[in-house]
Structure 1
Amino acid sequence: MAEQNSHYYVPAQSPWPIVGAIGFFLVAVGAGNLVAQLSQTGEAGWGRFILLVGFIILLVMMFGWFKDQISESRAGLHNAQLGVSYRQGMSWFIFSEVMFFAAFFGALFYARMISVPWLGGASNNAMTAEVLWPSFEAIWPLTTTPGGTTTQAMGYWGLPLINTIILLTSSITIHFAHTGLEANKRKQLTLMLGLTILLGMSFLVLQVEEYIHAYQDLGLKLDSGVYGNTFFLLTGFHGMHVTLGTLFLIVIFFRVLAGHFSPDNHFAFQSASWYWHFVDVVWLCLFVFVYII
């Protein structure tokens, strides 16, 4: 590896930000059309193809941007001052993700603690509740929609509990991978990091199984009232973050196999570890507030 650059490195112009913006735009358009078509006709429509193209563009952007960053780092263009900037940037990024999920948890809190009691006649709203939804019962999970459709709630036992154990275990394995890197124990690092990736993939497979169970056996769908909305919104976005985190760890894993990182210089690994712990904490909150309470 080349010696560290003594000056603050300013990278050249990159095409990856605009490529990523295009990818995210196509994902938003495709996902919006897909959800609309499924709810109206029961068929996927053209939105699935736009969604797929968007995801492919995002994958190309991620690996292209990672490649450029890795090349710059291995060429010795980065220095300690730039490392501080990277740490600040990653910290603010995770904070923005915390606020992202806080908004969704806020929507869940509003629906459960304010809207449901209000519709049930709380706070002197008995007359309004009688007009809006006469047969309404102020209970949660709200498994009956105004149209009369009834679904079943997703319990915390079974797949959700197994997935919780999987993610908690993955936090332990990524921690031991980190300690192995700091102690320059490459075998421990490789083994624990690889196990973390397998656990992340297992979580995603079981979440797909959970969604199939929800749709086919419980009748719990995205259009199943506010309970279905919040359930799939929170768990779906979390699943997307687990997917991104797993891809992040896979890139780090191949870098480890290539001999990258040292006990004193491994922020890319550290940032992946931070992100994975964040994903685990969000799931614990989901498990408590969405599945148990």
Structure 2
Amino acid sequence: METTEEHDEHHHLPAVEDWPRGFGEASWWPFIAAFGGAGLYIGAGLFILGNGDEPLVDPLAGPIVFIASTLVFLAGLYGWLYHAFVVDFWSGEASESSGRGLRLGMLLFLGSEIATFGAGFVYYFFIRAGGSWAGTHIPEGLLGAIVLVNTLILVVSSVTLHLAHLALLKGNHSRFVRWLGLTLFLGIVFIGGQVYEYYEFIIHEGFTLTEGIFASAFFGLTGLHGLHVSLGGALLGIVFIRSLYGQYSAERHISVSTVSMYWHFVDAVWIFLVVVIYVGSVVSL
């Protein structure tokens, strides 16, 4: 088995020198992920500007920027998750003292996420109140079985994750692994359901990002949420693999609790999104 010292010699950690002791690892991977994430919005904007009767930019500019930004985002995300969850895999879980810092970091991160989604919802409410909503194309199957089933799946996944965490705190490791595996499975099914919903809207109903102001709000907010669920699924997958190796116990569960905080957050955002985007748009028109 590889020792931690041997592993540290060749893992790609960037700037470990001149970093205050006790403040964790210095890393530029989060900045790379943020740069790629910003490029996704730029690519979407260029795609809109490149379509229509009088395109302002080359129609290929948007897709090229979007694909390149996706690759940059995934590379940054890989590096970020690698250092946060994988590099010290065999050395065990974080101590309780460092765990408090991780929980605080997650709370601060969720605060920034609230601001991000809040900005998106403010945009949605602004265009609703601006008087330009009349004649907006709303797909017929917007409030259909897909979104209802997907909502139920995500809510149940939040419950199963809570049961997994409780089982771990009670020392029942086998039950913890089963509930955690079920949570991961439900998260994957949710993403699959959202992809299928996009397929139905785009292919069968012709409802695309350039269809109108509602379409831009719908795909922007649901796509942003889908990206967060995908990130949560990656985190759950890492935690699940670590659980199979017996990395967690009633005394060592920092990663489980922080990932649970994130998963419950995306669950709450989805419920709010369903009420505002799906139900609100159908009821008011």
Q: TM-score, normalised by structure 1?
A: 0.76
**Aligned counterpart, 1:209:** 196
Deviation at residue 273 of structure 1 after TM alignment: 0.6
| 1:84 alignment partner, one of 69, 93, 100 | 100
Identity of aligned residues (%): 31
Deviation at residue 238 of structure 1 after TM alignment: 0.4
CA distance in 2, matches of 1:154, 1:80: 48
Larger RCO (alpha carbons 8 Å, 6+ apart): 2
Q: Closer, same or farther in 2 for the Cα pair 1:52/1:20, shift >3 Å?
A: closer
**Aligned counterpart, 2:7:** none
Are the counterparts in 2 of residues 159 and 210 from structure 1 also a CA contact under 8 Å? yes
**Aligned counterpart, 2:75:** 57
CA distances 1:234-293 after superposition (whole Å, capped 9, x unpaired): 101000000000001000001101111111221111011111111111010111111112
- Does residue 227 in structure 1 map to residue 214 in structure 2? yes
Deviation at residue 48 of structure 1 after TM alignment: 4.9
Larger Rg: 1
| 1:143 alignment partner, one of 118, 136, 139 | 136
| 1:252 alignment partner, one of 231, 234, 239 | 239
Q: TM-score, normalised by structure 2?
A: 0.78
CA distance in 2, matches of 1:252, 1:34: 37
**Aligned counterpart, 2:145:** 158
- Does residue 170 in structure 1 map to residue 172 in structure 2? no
| 2:88 alignment partner, one of 59, 70, 73 | 70
**Amino acid corresponding to residue 161 of structure 1 in structure 2:** L
**Amino acid corresponding to residue 58 of structure 1 in structure 2:** G
Deviation at residue 92 of structure 1 after TM alignment: 1.3
Deviation at residue 34 of structure 1 after TM alignment: 5.2
**Aligned counterpart, 1:237:** 224
Q: Closer, same or farther in 2 for the Cα pair 1:221/1:27, shift >3 Å?
A: closer
**Amino acid corresponding to residue 143 of structure 2 in structure 1:** Y
Moved more, 51-60 or 227-236: 51-60
Are the counterparts in 2 of residues 252 and 268 from structure 1 also a CA contact under 8 Å? yes
1:274-289 alignment runs, 5 A limit = 274-289=261-276
Q: Closer, same or farther in 2 for the Cα pair 1:13/1:282, shift >3 Å?
A: closer
**Aligned counterpart, 2:186:** 199
CA distances 1:171-206 after superposition (whole Å, capped 9, x unpaired): 111111111111111111111111111111111111
Q: CA RMSD in A?
A: 2.8
Structure 2, unaligned stretches of length 5 or more? Answer: 5-20, 281-285
**Amino acid corresponding to residue 127 of structure 2 in structure 1:** A
**Aligned counterpart, 2:22:** 9
CA distance in 2, matches of 1:23, 1:233: 16
**Aligned counterpart, 2:113:** 97
**Aligned counterpart, 2:130:** 115
Are the counterparts in 2 of residues 34 and 46 from structure 1 also a CA contact under 8 Å? no
CA distance in 2, matches of 1:48, 1:181: 41
Deviation at residue 60 of structure 1 after TM alignment: 2.5
Structure 1, unaligned stretches of length 5 or more? Answer: 3-7, 120-137, 145-150
CA distance in 2, matches of 1:234, 1:26: 16
CA distances 1:5-48 after superposition (whole Å, capped 9, x unpaired): xxx73435445345445544655555555555566577675335
Are the counterparts in 2 of residues 222 and 228 from structure 1 also a CA contact under 8 Å? yes
Q: Closer, same or farther in 2 for the Cα pair 1:191/1:165, shift >3 Å?
A: same
Are the counterparts in 2 of residues 16 and 64 from structure 1 also a CA contact under 8 Å? no
SS at match of 2:209: coil
Q: Closer, same or farther in 2 for the Cα pair 1:73/1:271, shift >3 Å?
A: farther
Q: Closer, same or farther in 2 for the Cα pair 1:256/1:284, shift >3 Å?
A: same
CA distance in 1, matches of 2:220, 2:261: 23
Moved more, 250-259 or 34-43: 34-43
**Amino acid corresponding to residue 221 of structure 1 in structure 2:** T
Are the counterparts in 1 of residues 32 and 72 from structure 2 also a CA contact under 8 Å? no
**Aligned counterpart, 1:188:** 175
